[in-house]
Structure formats: structure tokens, C-alpha cells
Structure 1
Amino acid sequence: MKKLGMKLGTCAFTAALTLALAGCYSAPAANASGQTPPSAVSVQNGILVGANGMTLYTFDKDTAGSGKSVCNGPCATNWPPLMGKQAPSGGNYSVIQRDDGSSQIAYKGKPLYYWVKDGKAGDTTGDGVMGVWHTARP
């Protein structure tokens, strides 16, 4: 019985420590220049993904190089924009201004979005939705 009590105490301590440390996480803060760090974008399995590993998409109705997103309101609820005030380094990235004044990352002039129905990193369930959404590829 004494061993069980020690195991339960150890488990309780570990759980409390995990919760305490989880509360220490915060989103990236502004750097010394007052700018937020660039959004991390990488390539996995030939597809652009955000810092969270989730697939990024482009929308056919957005015009490359226009500096605008036409996915606003309810559209942006289902297709959350990849937000960022500074373009990732490494080439073809830029920043566009959205209708609400916020900043969104674009690749080759096309704004980048997530899809709310992708449940985990690597999912590509938004590819081909309504024939106008596509995985973003380098």
C-alpha cells in the first residue's frame, strides 16, 4: 500500500508540474525592434506548412501579386489566414494587408491559409475543396 501511495504522489506531482509549465508558454513576442518574428513556413512532403506543421493552402479567387485576400468574414473563419507582419526569409514570401488591416503571409503573391477541418499535422483535407482550394507547393 505504501508503494501505491508513493506512485500516486509522484503522478500528482508530475501532473501539477506539467500544468504549471504549460501555463508558462506564450506566443512569440515582439523583438527589440518592436516587430513580431517572421512566421515560420517550411516544406514537408512537397507541401508548405506553418510553424505548427499544419498544411497551408491557396485560393484560386485570390489574384497573385494583387496584395489582397478575397477570403474575408465567414470564408476566413473556415480558412484562417497565415498571419504575420514579417515575411519568412528564403525567397518568394511577402506580406499583404487584409481588409481588416491585419497582415497575412503570401507565397509567390498568393495569400496562405489553413483549413479548419485539418485535424493534425500532415492532413490535406482542404485540397480541392469546391475546386478552388489547393495545397500550397513550392
Structure 2
Amino acid sequence: MTYFTQTIKVLAVTAALALPALVFAAEPAMEKGGMFTDHKGMTLYTFANDKDGRSVCNDKCAQNWPPLMVEGEAKPSGKWTVITRDDGKKQWAYDGKPLYTFIMDKKEGDMTGDEKMDGAWKIAKPD
């Protein structure tokens, strides 16, 4: 095998391994059954008290409702946007609404956070 052939094979393997990361970065969540889930299949929620693309769920709230955090250098696309939290970290939002999981959802498909706090928490759905 020549040096050129080995180099081509290494580049092909590197590209194949990088492709899933690029796809993941492009789509922070998935649509499943008319609602959004994270890549682990956990239900995503929006919080009615969030306004103007800003999260007000911090501290104890964020412990119970973990934000859908931005991984790496992901960029906004279409209705998917990136907001900056009060602590300076980046969080995903859809159509200006920050997204969260719920600590009481234990397995894929759980939706125990829907309508919590007098309906302030709702399952995130595409428009």
C-alpha cells in the first residue's frame, strides 16, 4: 500500500467519524410523535415565564428543569436559536423559546412535566 493510499483511507475514516457530530450539531433535538425530544429521547419543555428569548429558569429551577445546553460551537439554524443564560452558558431555543428537560422524567417517552406549575411548563412542539 502506498503512502497516498494510506492517507486517503485515513481521511475517509476521519470524515466518516466526523459526520455524525456535524449532524448532531445541526439538530439539537428531534421531533417524535409531534413533540421535541433531546437525542436521548427525553421530552423537551418550554416555560411560560421565559420572555423575549431569555431564560428565567436558574438555580433550583434549572436543577429541576435542566436546560438543553449547546454542545461545542453549534450554530443557530432556522427556528433553532442559541440564547445566553444568566451564567453565560449557551442554551438551545426553538422559535425563541428556551428548551428544558424535566428531572422527574426517568425514561424515554416520559412526559411528567407537562402542565406543571399551573400550566407554566408545556411539552415543546414544532409550529
The two structures have a TM-score, normalised by structure 1, of 0.68
For 2:88 and 2:48, how far apart are their aligned partners in 1? Answer: 22
User: How many residue pairs are counted as aligned between the two chains?
Assistant: 102
Pair 59,87 (structure 1): closer, same or farther in 2 beyond 3 Å: farther
For 1:95 and 1:126, how far apart are their aligned partners in 2? Answer: 23
In our comparison, the structure showing a higher alpha carbon Rg is 1
Sequence identity (%): 50
For 1:100 and 1:52, how far apart are their aligned partners in 2? Answer: 25
Q: 5+ unaligned residues in a row in structure 2: which ranges?
A: 1-20
Q: 5+ unaligned residues in a row in structure 1: which ranges?
A: 1-30
- SS at 1:37's partner residue? helix
- Tell me which moved more, 39-48 or 118-127: 39-48
Q: C-alpha deviations, 1:59-78, integer Å up to 9, x for none?
A: 00011xx2310000000000
Matches within 5 A, 1:1-138: 37-38=25-26, 40-63=28-51, 66-84=52-70, 85-87=73-75, 89=77, 91-130=78-117, 131-138=119-126
Kept in 1: contact 2:25–2:75 (CA 8 A): no
Matched residue type, 1:83: M
For 2:76 and 2:60, how far apart are their aligned partners in 1? Answer: 27
Pair 39,104 (structure 1): closer, same or farther in 2 beyond 3 Å: farther
Kept in 2: contact 1:57–1:135 (CA 8 A): yes
Kept in 1: contact 2:30–2:37 (CA 8 A): yes
Pair 87,127 (structure 1): closer, same or farther in 2 beyond 3 Å: farther
1:10 — aligned with what? none
Greater fraction of residues in helix: 2
For 1:38 and 1:124, how far apart are their aligned partners in 2? Answer: 25
For 1:42 and 1:92, how far apart are their aligned partners in 2? Answer: 13
- RCO (CA 8 Å, sep 6+): is it higher in 1 or 2? 2
4+ long deviations beyond 6 Å:
none
Alpha-carbon deviation of 1:39? 5.5
Indicate the RMSD between aligned Cα atoms, in angstroms: 2.1
